[in-house]
């Protein structure tokens, strides 16, 4: 898709405040300062999990539930696309490609970065501790080690409590 002279930013989003914060950060760093002369093309990607991986079990009645789960996953994907479009529109940034691809987010993001010849891959960090990362897996950690482009992992600032602001 991208020629050698085009620079591409691929942003991975899910339906979390962390990923929307990462999208806004990418727009502020790579697009907003250059509105009149964009330096990058923007690819926004949502990896939609297969219904069977969401269910995580098989048993009597599972086949009956799959269409309902598929419908819910499709609705979430539509909401993610709309939210991303709204965020980009608010900052007057054009999305070159907005994709929803079914599969494991690690593989989907890695393949998209390669397919689009990404200069940088931007992801939000959920801030899981070591134990949760072992059981849930960390998409950002995986991509930081396996992607063949720069990976920017954006952490959402923690909310400060009034009682901690005494300094």
Q: Are 154 and 25 in contact (CB under 8 A)?
A: yes
| CATH code of the domain made up of 7-154 | 3.40.50.620
Domain ranges of the chain: 7-154
pLDDT at 52: 76
Q: CA-based diameter of the chain, in Å?
A: 59
Print pLDDT tens along the chain (167 aa).
Answer: 444 568 999 999 998 999 999 999 999 999 988 877 889 999 999 999 888 776 666 666 667 788 888 899 999 999 999 999 999 999 999 999 999 999 999 999 999 999 999 999 999 987 655 554 454 468 888 899 999 999 999 988 877 755 554 44
Q: Are 20 and 87 in contact (CB under 8 A)?
A: yes
> Measured between alpha carbons, how far is 77 from 72 in angstroms, rounded to an integer?
9
Indicate yes or no: pTM above 0.85.
no
> Measured between alpha carbons, how far is 125 from 158 in angstroms, rounded to an integer?
12
């Amino acid at each position: 898709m991208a020629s050698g002279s085009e620079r591409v930013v691929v942003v991975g989003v899910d339906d979390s405040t962390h990923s929307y914060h990462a999208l806004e950060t990418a727009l502020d760093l790579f697009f907003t300062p250059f509105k009149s002369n964009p330096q990058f093309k923007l690819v926004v990607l949502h990896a939609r999990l297969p219904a069977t991986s969401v269910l995580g079990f098989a048993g009597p009645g599972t086949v009956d539930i799959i269409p309902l789960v598929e419908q819910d996953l499709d609705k979430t994907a539509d909401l993610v696309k709309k939210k991303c479009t709204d965020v980009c529109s608010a900052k007057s940034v054009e999305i070159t490609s907005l994709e929803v691809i079914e599969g494991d987010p690690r593989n989907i993001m890695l393949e998209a970065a390669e397919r689009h010849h990404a200069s940088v891959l931007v992801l939000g960090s959920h801030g899981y501790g070591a134990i949760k990362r072992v059981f849930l897996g960390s998409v950002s950690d995986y991509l930081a080690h396996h992607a063949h482009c720069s990976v920017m992992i954006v952490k959402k600032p923690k909310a400060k409590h009034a009682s901690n602001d005494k300094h």
